[in-house]
Each structure stands twice: as structure tokens, then as C-alpha cells.
Amino acid sequence: MAWIDRAAEAVAAEKDRLTRLDSAIGDSDHGTNLHRGFTAARAALQAKPPQYPGAALVQVGMTLISSVGGASGPLYGTVFRRTGKALGEAEKVSARDLAGALADGLAGVRKLGGASVGDKTMVDVFTPAIDVFTARLADDASTADALEAAADAADAAALATIPLRARKGRASYLGERSEGHEDPGAASAALLWRALADTAPGGAR
């Protein structure tokens, strides 16, 4: 719940930037849509806190699907729903459990949208972030350190979408004109990873 609370704050703070990014290669509504969705998700969790972490993420996913327009709602909703379902009814979740569940969430997004690394989408951010998170945990890093490294990887991956040509979604219709712009979905994905790192035990917040 702290993660979603921080994510909602981050999206609210960055919604204008996300919309500017989307105006270059999309529908000019990414920031507005995500702000509406995460505001609704946070409110839903506060109104009726779920019993388990997995249930909380499933609820977030369902709220995003129902409240966010365009492709972002189904894609982000799938990330959270699949992650939550993978966690099941466990009362406590380890960092390794979360890493595995997030990988399930990513698999769901890849199946839904058909995107791979290099297609200039949120997949370009989630993939290296999960890889780094998992690898650092395997090296016995603390949860906070592993998530900080994952968030750094996410930030770098979002910027690395700038020179890419979009191959999925509305941006793909622009062809070479999509090059030179940061993908808004990648940018918002990086915000979510930073929010997770900030709310990890021993993290920035």
C-alpha cells in the first residue's frame, strides 16, 4: 500500500511531463490517464484495505483497468493483477517472492501487448529492472539496495528508449519520426520502480 501511495504521488507530480512525452508520439493523455488511475487505486485501497499484499495488487490492477483509458489501463492493470495473483494469499512477501511475481506480471504484459525489448515500450524498462533486482538479491544484497539498483536500471532504460523506433502501439505509426523521443510508458514505468525503491524497508522513505 505504501508503494501505491508513493506511486500515486509520483504520477501526480510528473503527469504533465508524461503527457508532454505522449504528445510527441501518442495521444497526449498518458499523464492524465495514469493520474486518474493511480488516484482511484490509492483511494480504493484506503477505503477497504485488502487482507494480503497479493490481494492489494490485484485490486490495484482491476482499478487501473476500469479507470485508465487507452492501452495503459490494460497493460498496467495486467502487471499488477498478474503480480498480485502470483503472490496469492501470503501474509508476508519476501523480496525474492516479489521479484518472481513481477516477472509473472511482465510475462502477462508481453503476452497482452506482444512487445519485446527494443520495441520502445514499458517492457524496455520492466525487463532490465526485474533482471537487476533478481541478480542483486541472488548476490545477497538487501532489499533496499536491490530495489535501488533496479530503479537506477529502470531510469537508464527509460532514457535508452529515446533513440529507438517504436514498433508497438500508436507510436509505431510514426515510423522513424518516433525516434528521438522518450517513450511515455517507459517513463511512467521508471516512476513505479523508483516509488517501489523509495518505500522498501531501509529505502529513501
Residue that the C-alpha cell 533486482 belongs to: 133
Structural domain including 34 reads 2-198
Q: How much is the pLDDT for 170?
A: 81
* Cα–Cα nearest to 133, from 145, 117, 121: 145
d(CA 172, CA 91) in angstroms, rounded, equals 42
pLDDT band for position 135 (50/70/90)?
very high
28 within domain boundaries:
yes
Query: Looking at the domain assignment, is residue 203 inside a domain?
Result: no
Is pLDDT of 160 > 90? yes
Question: Quick check: is 88 in a domain?
Answer: yes
* 3-class DSSP state of 199: coil
Q: What is the pLDDT of residue 174?
A: 87
Average pLDDT over residues 26-39: 93
In a domain? residue 204: no
Instruction: Evaluate whether residue 104 is within a structural domain.
Output: yes
Q: What is the CATH number of the domain that holds 187?
A: 1.25.40.340
Structural domain total, the chain = 1
79-110 as b/e: b if 16+ CB within 10 A: bbbbbbbbbeeeeeeebebbbbbbbbbbebbb
Three-state DSSP class for residue 49: coil
Averaged confidence pLDDT in the chain:
95
Which residue's C-alpha cell is 485488502?
Answer: 50
pLDDT class of 204 with cuts at 50, 70, 90: low
Q: Is residue 190 in some structural domain?
A: yes
**Ramachandran assignment for 166, one of left (phi > 0), alpha (psi -120 to 50 degrees), beta (any other):** beta
Banded pLDDT at 205 (limits 50, 70, 90):
low
User: How far is 58 from 173, CA to CA, in rounded Å?
Assistant: 32
Does residue 205 form part of some domain?
A: no
pLDDT, average across residues 177-194:
96
pLDDT confidence tier of residue 58, bands split at 50, 70 and 90: very high
Q: Is 121 helix (H, G, I), strand (E, B) or coil?
A: coil
pLDDT above 70 for 203: no
What average pLDDT does range 28-38 have in this prediction?
A: 95
